[in-house]
């Protein structure tokens, strides 16, 4: 302890170690206080966990888009939150139409499947267009250039959709089949949350299959490994990159619909901003560029956000603990960057890739 | 020598001819005058939130301003009325930047704005310094009309508002919860915005002063969608009523998720005018039925005529006002235009002189003006300096199934201050 590799005393290592001890202490004391006060029952903790897992699966689906693009281009696509918004916002009108004809409540499963496909296609189109118009001409330029362009694209998309659909808040129709809760003993878990978790799981398994078992997946992995060698092997790099953006977009769009069915309110042009930032955090938490890492990071972030304020902060006697939910999320990010810069599942990257 | 003499004669002739003109254009106002040339329009400005998530409030107010101008056929004192639009982004920095642009334009007679109280805090020092006046249609933070800096007051001369001060609204919510609903324990939630925080604090203080129990005071963040953590905490503290004066969509998330949170059954809900939007009940769904809300009570034939005009003109491309402050903006604009009309002096050459201090005085003298939002009387005494709304146009509403299923708006009124006074007498 307190010594660097060459065995000398180092103030930096010392501070980091002290920080480590303090954080562990704060978490233990806070959790102990809360649990021993018994304010929140076991059933309530399970409820919080379930809510955190469903919120986390939405983060995970969006985070996959960040991670896929980063894995291939080493670029952070800050417009990805807006790709999520594009699908969710556009599908609102489709969902309204399905609801008005009664189809949504007659055939909920089929209707939801249609909505997911629709939103996926919209978001995919937006993602592909952004790549084609805003990013491809800049490929090969210094890394700051596409980053700033991504921020510009993000604003452009927000205000383009505001112009298209207006600025007022909208809400998805509520599906009757997703109302109610499953009762296990004195624990009740809302059906909507189970639905969110399961559909996210299906999509993630689908992605895993695509990347690991198909020809295009192999090409994606090859491009991510080394673009030049992949090109020499006859892989059409531009097409693979476009495809990757499309897949990320599809996942973001379906996350938009799943989010809409689970938390119907708050649909407007700005809805992608915060989930986008949270999902980016999740991707970094799990190890950016790593697909299982993004899934794990998303779920982890969702659970921490749901349980953290009540477990740790309230136990430490901090007032307004719930307003500090985002503080917990972003403190996690800082901690990961300090103690495990490569993320939970990330591999140590070489200089050129990091 | 001849040349010098010629020049001298010419100069003195010029001076003699220009003297009467100079005397005429002399402005007697201590803050200076707005000079409007014979063929120039009368210019007013708007500083509203036109981008960002609060932009529908801006669109709402801008519609009210445009209709007030249209209601006069775009003319005042025989001249065109020109509107300069600035965006405040609902933030202090945005308000400051917009105010700087407005203050640099000497032709602007007055400002309608801002949308958010935070933006007003950035804008008012500059607007006040420039001698201008600003009338807000939706700032409700008590600090803006409080001249006492020790109490956190940020009043600047030249500030007026037609929106009601939160001191009325928060206290009204507490009175209703205590005296009518007979609830004895309250949980309050704000979202960190000075407006919502102010309301939550006023409500909690008033409730406590009436011997009520404040069991939980917490906050969510703007942009939160998952409210399960705070709702669990609230359920554990056991309130009889939850007071959530936050904006949409956070209020929609809170109310719809509370319906699925064990321990929240039977807890009454009350929100405020940050959620007073046509889509609130429909967006929230069945959980909204029974929710109380305090908000502006605007009704009557004049208001119906206003809504018809809105539907016809569709300002900003909206078929109906997207929020509840359009009538306040309409009244504010009319007050400003009336004041300009009252103090403007026409010179012999056709130039209009509008004294800036005279304009402020004319606004401060407004008494019993019958607007869409009720009787308006502008007050001067802190903590109500510049408050023109008297709180009589506030009411408590309760959402019913007609709002959720059929989109009827506004919801029926269950209580207002006139009932409070009759209760007191009885």
Q: Best-predicted range by mean pLDDT among A160-169, B121-130, B289-298?
A: B121-130
Nearest to B46 by CA among B4, B81, B6, B7: B81
Judged by CB atoms closer than 8 Å, whether chains meet at A159 and B51 is answered as yes
Residues B47 and B105 in one domain: yes
- Tens digit of pLDDT for each residue in B6-65? 666 665 655 555 544 444 457 888 999 999 999 899 999 999 999 877 888 899 999 999
Residues B316 and B246 in one domain: no
Residues B184 and B205 in one domain: yes
Question: pLDDT confidence of A350, banded at 50, 70, 90?
Answer: very low
Look at A292-296, B43-47, B225-229 and tell me which has the smallest mean pLDDT. B225-229
Q: What is the pTM of this model?
A: 0.79
- For residue B64, being part of any structural domain is answered with yes
Rounded to the nearest 10 degrees, the angle between the axes of helix A215-225 and helix A191-213 is 80
Rounded to the nearest 10 degrees, the angle between the axes of helix A273-286 and helix A325-339 is 30
| Shortest CA gap A182–chain B (Å) | 12
CATH code assigned at B343:
3.40.50.2300
Residues B305 and B420 in one domain: no
Residue A8 has pLDDT above 90, yes or no: no
Mutation pick from B189, B247, B249 vs chain A, by most beta carbons of A within 10 Å, is B249
Nearest residue in B to A269, CA atom: B53
- Average pLDDT across chain A, whole number: 89
Nearest by CB to residue B283, choosing from A40, A265, A302, is A265
Residues B126 and B79 in one domain: yes
Residues B175 and B159 in one domain: no
Question: pLDDT confidence of B424, banded at 50, 70, 90?
Answer: very low
- Distance from the Cα of residue B206 to its chain's centroid: 23
Nearest residue in A to B59, CA atom: A167
Q: Best-predicted range by mean pLDDT among A324-333, B294-303, B381-390?
A: B381-390
- The domain ranges of chain A are 40-339
Residues B265 and B350 in one domain: no
Residues B304 and B190 in one domain: no
User: Which residue did the predictor score with more confidence, B377 or A320?
Assistant: B377
Question: For residue B61, what are the domain limits?
Answer: 33-163+299-376
Binding-face residues of B in 288-317 toward A, CB within 8 A: 317
Can you tell me the distance from the alpha carbon of A259 to that of A112, in angstroms, rounded to the nearest whole number?
12
Residue ranges of E strands in chain A: 181-184, 187-190
| Angstrom distances, CA of residue B167 to CA of B144, B145, B177, B250, B287 | 12, 11, 16, 23, 28
Question: Which phi and psi (to 5°) does residue B138 adopt?
Answer: -145, 5
Mutation pick from A171, A181, A312 vs chain B, by most beta carbons of B within 10 Å, is A171
Question: pLDDT confidence of B322, banded at 50, 70, 90?
Answer: confident
Can you tell me the distance from the alpha carbon of A301 to that of A326, in angstroms, rounded to the nearest whole number?
10
Q: Which residues contact A4 (CB under 8 A, 6 or more apart)?
A: A10, A13
Nearest residue in B to A259, CA atom: B225
Look at A27-36, A151-160, A275-284, B324-333 and tell me which has the smallest mean pLDDT. A27-36
- Tens digit of pLDDT for each residue in A49-75? 999 999 999 999 999 999 999 999 889
Question: Within a 10 A sphere around the Cβ of B10, how many other Cβ atoms?
Answer: 10
- Residue A133 has which token pair? 């118009």
Look at A91-100, A295-304, B6-15 and tell me which has the smallest mean pLDDT. B6-15
Can you tell me the distance from the alpha carbon of A158 to that of B255, in angstroms, rounded to the nearest whole number?
27
C-alpha dihedral (B143, B149, B155, B156), degrees to nearest 10: -160
Instruction: Tell me what pLDDT residue A317 has.
Output: 80
Judged by CB atoms closer than 8 Å, whether chains meet at B253 and A263 is answered as yes
Mean pLDDT of the B399-422 span: 82
Nearest by CB to residue B260, choosing from A39, A181, A307, is A181
Chain B positions touching A190 (Cβ under 8 A) are 260
User: Which residue did the predictor score with more confidence, B198 or B355?
Assistant: B355
Can you tell me the distance from the alpha carbon of A300 to that of A314, in angstroms, rounded to the nearest whole number?
20
Classified as helix, coil or strand, A54 is helix
Residues B78 and B99 in one domain: yes
The H-assigned helical ranges of B192-348 are: 194-209, 228-237, 250-258, 280-284, 301-313, 326-343
Residues B281 and B409 in one domain: yes
Can you tell me the distance from the alpha carbon of B390 to that of A238, in angstroms, rounded to the nearest whole number?
65
- How many domains, in total, are found in chain B? 2
User: Which residue did the predictor score with more confidence, B19 or B75?
Assistant: B75
Q: Does B233 touch chain A (CB under 8 A)?
A: yes
Question: pLDDT confidence of B425, banded at 50, 70, 90?
Answer: very low
Instruction: Tell me what pLDDT residue B130 has.
Output: 94
- Residue A58 has which token pair? 């939405």
- For residue B130, being part of any structural domain is answered with yes
Per DSSP bridges, beta strands B345-346 and B352-355 are antiparallel
Residue B176 has pLDDT above 70, yes or no: yes
Residues B412, B400 contacting (CB under 8 angstroms): yes
CATH number of A40-339: 1.10.3470
């Amino acid at each position: 302890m307190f010594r660097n590799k060459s065995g000398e005393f180092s103030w930096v290592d010392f501070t980091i170690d002290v920080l480590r001890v303090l954080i562990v202490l704060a978490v233990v004391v806070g959790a102990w206080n809360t649990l021993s006060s018994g304010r929140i029952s076991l059933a309530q903790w399970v409820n919080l966990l379930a809510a955190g897992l469903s919120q986390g699966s939405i983060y995970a689906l969006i985070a996959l888009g960040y991670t896929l693009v980063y894995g291939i281009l080493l670029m952070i696509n800050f417009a990805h939150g807006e790709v999520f918004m594009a699908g969710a916002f556009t599908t609102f009108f489709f969902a309204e139409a399905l609801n008005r004809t009664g189809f949504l409540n007659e055939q909920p499963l089929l209707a939801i499947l249609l909505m997911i496909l629709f939103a996926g296609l919209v978001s995919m189109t937006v993602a592909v267009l952004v790549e084609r118009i805003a990013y491809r001409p800049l490929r090969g330029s210094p890394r700051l250039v596409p980053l700033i362009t991504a921020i510009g694209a993000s604003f452009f998309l927000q205000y383009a959709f505001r112009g298209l659909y207006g600025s007022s808040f909208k809400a998805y129709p509520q599906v009757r089949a997703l109302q109610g809760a499953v009762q296990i003993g004195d624990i009740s878990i809302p059906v909507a949350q189970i639905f969110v978790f399961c559909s996210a799981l299906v999509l993630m398994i689908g992605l895993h299959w695509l990347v690991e078992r198909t020809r295009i997946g192999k090409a994606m992995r090859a491009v991510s490994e080394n673009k030049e060698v992949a090109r020499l092997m006859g892989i059409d790099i531009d097409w693979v990159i476009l495809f990757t953006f499309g897949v990320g977009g599809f996942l973001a769009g379906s996350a938009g619909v799943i989010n809409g069915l689970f938390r119907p309110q708050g649909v407007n042009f700005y809805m992608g901003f915060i989930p986008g930032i949270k999902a980016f955090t999740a991707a970094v938490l799990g190890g950016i560029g790593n697909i299982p890492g993004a899934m794990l990071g998303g779920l982890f972030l969702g659970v921490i956000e749901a349980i953290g304020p009540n477990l740790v902060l309230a136990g430490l006697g901090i007032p307004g603990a719930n307003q500090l939910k985002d503080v917990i999320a972003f403190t996690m990010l800082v901690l990961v960057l300090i103690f495990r810069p490569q993320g939970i599942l990330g591999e140590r990257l070489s200089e050129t890739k990091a | 020598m001849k040349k010098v003499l010629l020049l001298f004669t010419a100069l003195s002739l010029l001076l003699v001819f220009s003297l009467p003109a100079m005397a005429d254009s002399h402005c007697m106002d201590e803050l200076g005058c707005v000079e409007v040339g014979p063929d120039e329009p009368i210019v007013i400005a708007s500083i509203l939130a036109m981008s960002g998530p609060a932009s529908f409030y801006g669109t709402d107010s801008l519609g009210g301003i445009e209709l007030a101008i249209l209601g006069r056929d775009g003319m005042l004192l025989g001249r065109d009325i020109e509107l300069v639009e600035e965006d405040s982004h609902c933030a202090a920095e945005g308000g400051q930047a917009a105010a700087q642009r407005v203050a640099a334009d000497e032709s602007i007679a007055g400002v309608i704005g801002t949308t958010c109280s935070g933006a007003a805090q950035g804008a008012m020092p500059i607007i006040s310094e420039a001698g201008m006046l600003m009338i807000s249609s939706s700032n409700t933070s008590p600090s803006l009309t409080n001249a006492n800096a020790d109490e956190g007051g940020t009043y600047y001369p030249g500030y007026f508002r037609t929106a009601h001060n939160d001191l009325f609204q928060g206290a009204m919510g507490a009175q209703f919860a205590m005296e009518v609903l007979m609830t004895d324990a309250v949980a309050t939630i704000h979202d960190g915005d000075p407006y919502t925080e102010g309301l939550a604090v006023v409500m909690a203080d008033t409730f406590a002063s009436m011997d009520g129990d404040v069991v939980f005071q917490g906050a969510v963040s703007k942009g939160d969608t998952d409210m399960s953590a705070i709702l669990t905490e609230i359920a554990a503290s056991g309130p009889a009523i939850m007071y959530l004066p936050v904006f949409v969509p956070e209020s929609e998330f809170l109310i719809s998720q509370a319906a699925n949170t064990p321990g929240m059954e039977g807890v009454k809900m009350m929100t405020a005018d940050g959620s007073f939007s046509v889509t609130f009940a429909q967006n929230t769904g069945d959980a909204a039925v029974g929710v109380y809300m305090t908000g502006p009570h605007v009704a009557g034939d004049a208001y119906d005529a206003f809504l018809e005009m809105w539907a016809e003109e569709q300002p900003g491309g909206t078929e109906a006002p997207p929020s509840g402050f359009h009538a306040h903006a309409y009244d504010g604009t009319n007050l400003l235009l009336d004041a300009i009309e009252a103090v403007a002096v026409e010179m012999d050459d056709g130039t209009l002189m509008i004294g800036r201090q005279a304009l402020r005085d004319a606004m401060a003298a407004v008494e019993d003006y019958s607007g869409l939002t009720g009787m308006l009387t502008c007050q001067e005494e802190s903590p109500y300096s510049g408050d023109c709304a008297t709180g009589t146009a506030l009411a408590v509403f309760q959402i019913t199934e007609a709002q959720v299923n059929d989109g009827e708006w506004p919801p029926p009124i269950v209580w207002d201050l006139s009932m409070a006074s009759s209760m007191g007498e009885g």
